[in-house]
Amino acid sequence: MSVIKPFRRTCRPFKVGDRGGNGNWTYILHDKYAKSPEHYTRAYLLIQKDILKLFDYIEPSDKNLETYSYRIHELLLRTCVEVEANCKAILIENGYRRNNDELRMKDYKKIETSHKLSYYKIKLPIWNGVKNIREPFLNWKSGDSLQWYDVYNQTKYDRHSKFELATLDNLIDAVCGLVSLISSQFWTYDFSSPELILTGGRIDDGMKSAIGGYFRIEFPTDWDDSEKYEFDWNLLKEDANPFQNFNY
């Protein structure tokens, strides 16, 4: 048994057929799939723009991973705010609530069950060294915390004594975490043109171009058939409510 209605803000492979082949993936563009998706992709694209500008001054290299600065710290904070915003949107739009309405990391970790974030791999195409492929949510497989997110909280509340933790290494992981989250909701649509879909480019590394065209991404492939989508969107989109909530 597979999933016959897509979950809100949840991008998954189809049981039969490939992504984008028959138009089924246009469910991502439906106005009931996600509230203001361009709000989230635009914020991400600004962060991508700023980290590329940062690379004009700090070479993307293994040797510079421990570099820290106010600019790096600023980008780390902004990136993690966007990570939180996306996590909250996924949970809330799927009907998830807490009594006090304050969502925390223990709530965000529930998204692992619906989006398989720990299986995402993100590659920086220009990098000197071996640390150019990141698995930013890998620790969720074992139930552990995310170092880059812990550093965000530490430096946010105690910048004076924790400032040196705001390293390029942790920033790269955070940005790759945001790439994973954005991609797990919107695949490769950036909403700048509703008819445009990116198809991955010509680089032969088994990955696709993520939204924004810089980062490379490997989507999870170990979905069970019962977790995959199986519907004809051309028929389903005529329903009054063609989407369903994921039960967290």
Structure tokens at 186: 């919107």
181-234 tens-digit pLDDT? 999 999 998 887 555 555 444 566 778 889 999 999 999 999 999 999 999 999
**3-class DSSP state for residue 121?**
strand
Does 241 fall in a domain? no
Sheet containing 133-134: give its strands across: 133-134, 121-123, 216-218, 208-209
Does 87 fall in a domain? yes
Does 179 fall in a domain? yes
Taken in order 31, 32, 34, 35, is the CA torsion positive or negative?
positive
Total domains in the fold of the chain: 1
Does 30 fall in a domain? yes
Residue 245 has pLDDT above 60, yes or no: yes
- Report the pLDDT value the prediction gives residue 240, as an integer from 0 to 100: 94
Does 18 fall in a domain? no
Does 109 fall in a domain? yes
Q: How far does the chain reach from its first CA to its final CA, in angstroms?
A: 19
Residue 83 has pLDDT above 80, yes or no: yes
Does 19 fall in a domain? no
Does 168 fall in a domain? yes
Structure tokens at 7: 């979950």
- pTM for this entry: 0.94
- Report the pLDDT value the prediction gives residue 200, as an integer from 0 to 100: 46
Segments forming the whole domain that contains residue 176: 24-236
- Report the pLDDT value the prediction gives residue 159, as an integer from 0 to 100: 92
- Report the pLDDT value the prediction gives residue 235, as an integer from 0 to 100: 93
pLDDT averaged over every residue in the chain: 92
What percent of the chain clears pLDDT 90, i.e. is strictly above it?
Answer: 83
